[in-house]
Structure 1
Amino acid sequence: MAETSASDPESLAPRTLAIDIGGTGLKASVVGESGEMLEKRVRVATPYPCTPDVLVEALTGLTAPLEAYDRISIGFPGVVRDGRIITAPHFQGKAWVDYPLAETLARRFGKPARLLNDAEVQGLGIVKGRGLEVVLTLGTGLGSAVFSNGALTPHLELAHHPIRKGETYNDYVGNAARRAVGSKRWNKRVRKTIEIVYALLHYDILHLGGGNAANVTIDLPDTVHIASNDAGITGGIRLWDEVVWNGVLGSHAVSPAR
């Protein structure tokens, strides 16, 4: 990392610990004011079974090598509201229902924390702010987020919506499906998913993110773009943009207990 002097404005800017919680891996880095990674990204496999206590311990170990930071952003694969977990489909268990993950991590690390759905965090690092933009993340399952002129709309949990013969989007294009049906058939399913989402929303731009976006080999329409998976981390800086955060329905910052 390049050295900065005390008089350098960048050295005085808040540093954000950005955590991307996935069904397959946990990733983190410290990002600067412009969303650039100031530290090499760290990653560990997501532990299973994954109770809240197990996740918090795993994140504590994961982030230990990272340098000083002033605040925390967290992306979580489920429905999130007011810093709490509403659903945790990859982890299951009653302990996750209404779990105060933002407050828990704020207390553990002694820094203010903000929490949002992981696809929405990734979208904040991707969207251009023009027209109707949709973000689909292809990973362990399928994540989704919708933005109107750069503003996040109420969460749309496509992952658990039926798409075909009783299968959900998770079942249809998740990682288990890719392994089960092979790359060629899985790519056809991705194409069908894109068509269905367009029929549903008539988006201007669709961004494909997540780890399995790298496995998309079909020709894509001009309105569909592959996005960097690093946006799940770099997008975390946007949770500390007050205009963005105040536009997140029902959100609030959580500060550590004093």
Structure 2
Amino acid sequence: MSAGAPVPTGADALAEPGILVLDVGGNAVKFKLSSGEERRKFPSGPGLTPERMVEKVLEESGDWRFDRVSIGCPGPISGDRIALEPVNLGPGWCAFDFAAAFGRPVRLVNDAAMQALGSYEGGKMLFLGLGTGLGAALVIEGAVLSLEVAHLPYKAGRTFEDYAGRRGLERMGKRRWRKAVRDIVERLRAALVADHVVLGGGNAGLLEEMPEGCRRGHNRNAFLGGVRLWEGGVRVL
């Protein structure tokens, strides 16, 4: 997939507004302008409301020019609205109007889907984010679909997330966690008939080697995914 027209740099970046891309997580809100390399962030957590998030972003990006906003948030998204309150953030996210708050057009997508879109290089790609939980998305020729597989039953009365997420890592230790991740990747890849798998998230670096058919993703790909959301051929399903 093309990343679109080259983003302006230097003096051109000052003359032309860019896309502001936000990656909202349970520990931090990270944001970047499409026309530059600098990334900024501030802590999030259970006390972060959407009002405070927008206020803080606008305060800390006051020297940036942008005319569109892309936001990756945890949890299911429906019609540019958050369908369920994120468990690791403050209240009020479902009913919040981000476009009105920013005063600009906004595209809102699941955070795993945004990173998946930025990681896409062709074919039918499954993205799995190994972090606090287990994020998942499927990308096929510019169409990205967020998957809610984390809470499907796996074994011993526990879910995929109970094994592949942070709780599983803490409960089992690295060796058994790595074995569980390999098994989960193989099962989901087979079930979704994916050509290949990208493993992202903060804990992907704990894998000593990539399972067969997998490659390592990078958190920075979320910012590229946020830019790609505005391309004409991209569809969020």
Q: Which residue is equivalent to 2:216? A: 226
Q: Deviations over 1:200-242 (max 9, x none)?
A: 1221110011121122223421x20001111122210011112
- Tell me which amino acid in the other structure corresponds to 1:146: L
How many residues matched? 228
Give ranges in structure 2 of 5+ residues lacking alignment.
1-7
Equivalent-residue separation in structure 1 for 2:173 and 2:41 (angstroms): 26
Select which of 169, 174, 187 maps to 2:178. 187
Q: Which residue is equivalent to 1:243? A: 233
Q: Which residue is equivalent to 2:133? A: 141
Equivalent-residue separation in structure 1 for 2:30 and 2:177 (angstroms): 26
Equivalent-residue separation in structure 1 for 2:55 and 2:92 (angstroms): 19
- Tell me which amino acid in the other structure corresponds to 2:152: H
Question: Do structure 1's residue 56 and structure 2's residue 51 form an aligned pair?
Answer: yes
Give ranges in structure 1 of 5+ residues lacking alignment.
33-37, 250-258
User: Cα distance, 1:49 vs. partner?
Assistant: 4.2
Q: Which residue is equivalent to 1:132? A: 124
Runs of 4+ in structure 1 displaced over 3 angstroms? 10-14, 91-96
Relative to structure 1, the CA distance from residue 183 to residue 91 in structure 2 (aligned partners, 3 Å threshold; closer, same or farther) is: same
User: Is the 1:42–1:63 contact (alpha carbons within 8 Å) kept by the matching residues of 2?
Assistant: no
Q: Deviations over 1:1-30 (max 9, x none)?
A: 96225xxxx665540110011123221111
User: Cα distance, 1:169 vs. partner?
Assistant: 2.1
Question: Do structure 1's residue 23 and structure 2's residue 26 form an aligned pair?
Answer: yes
- Tell me which amino acid in the other structure corresponds to 2:132: T
- Tell me which amino acid in the other structure corresponds to 1:123: A
Q: Which residue is equivalent to 1:3? A: 10
Equivalent-residue separation in structure 2 for 1:46 and 1:56 (angstroms): 12
Equivalent-residue separation in structure 2 for 1:93 and 1:59 (angstroms): 13
More strand by share: 2
TM-score, with length taken from structure 2: 0.86
User: Is the 1:42–1:62 contact (alpha carbons within 8 Å) kept by the matching residues of 2?
Assistant: no
- Tell me which amino acid in the other structure corresponds to 1:48: P
TM-score, with length taken from structure 1: 0.79
Equivalent-residue separation in structure 1 for 2:127 and 2:169 (angstroms): 19
Select which of 65, 82, 85 maps to 1:85. 82
User: Is the 1:28–1:63 contact (alpha carbons within 8 Å) kept by the matching residues of 2?
Assistant: no
Q: Which residue is equivalent to 1:75? A: 72
Q: How does 1:154-165 map to 2 (within 5 A)?
A: 155-165=146-156
Percent identity (aligned): 35
Question: Do structure 1's residue 212 and structure 2's residue 203 form an aligned pair?
Answer: yes
Please state whether the residue corresponding to 1:211 is helix, strand or coil: coil
